[in-house]
């Protein structure tokens, strides 16, 4: 099985996982102090980094020319929509910090993919 077939189902699964995790009750104990802000931000960062990576390759495999900026834009919009949806639940609140972490994770992957050719090591040198 070719790896290209893996990206679209993995992207849909991961986006669904993020959706579910964004709307269920938080499980981090309140007495952790300042880490209550750091731990979720790290989770958001990595979740959206993975989503952006999967989305880039899903879009690229479908033949789109501008997969990187489109994947980044879709991740940012998806993250903001989920943050707004959290405001409609009884147990979650929207957070600007979470939205920034979402955007940061997607941005790092988009930039890494865009400039990966500059960081390749040529074994022939």
Residue 37, helix vs strand vs coil: helix
With 0.75 as the threshold, say if the pTM is over it.
Answer: yes
What token pair was written down for 64?
């789109």
| pLDDT at residue number 29 | 59
Angle between helices 4-23 and 67-86 (to 10 degrees): 20
Give the pLDDT means over successive 10-residue stretches in the chain (125 positions): 81 95 72 68 95 95 92 97 91 88 97 80 58
- The separation between CA 69 and the C-alpha centre of its own chain, rounded to angstroms, equals 14
Residue 27: how many CB atoms within 10 A of its CB? Answer: 5
- Cα separation of 29 and 121, whole Å? 45
Instruction: Tell me which residue has tokens 């959290």.
Output: 86
Other C-beta atoms within 10 Å of 83: how many? 20
- Tell me what pLDDT residue 102 has: 96
Of 42, 98, 110, 38, the C-alpha closest to 72 is 110
Length of the chain: 125
């Amino acid at each position: 099985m070719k790896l290209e077939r893996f990206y679209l189902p993995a992207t849909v699964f991961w986006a669904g996982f993020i959706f579910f995790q964004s709307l269920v009750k938080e499980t981090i104990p309140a007495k952790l102090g300042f880490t209550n802000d750091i731990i979720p931000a790290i989770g958001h960062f990595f979740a959206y980094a993975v989503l952006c990576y999967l989305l880039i390759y899903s879009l690229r495999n479908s033949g789109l020319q501008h997969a990187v900026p489109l994947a980044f834009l879709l991740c940012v919009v998806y993250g903001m929509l989920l943050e707004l949806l959290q405001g409609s639940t009884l147990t979650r609140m929207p957070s600007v910090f979470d939205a920034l972490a979402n955007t940061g994770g997607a941005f790092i992957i988009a930039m890494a993919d865009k400039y990966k050719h500059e960081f390749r090591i040529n074994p022939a040198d």
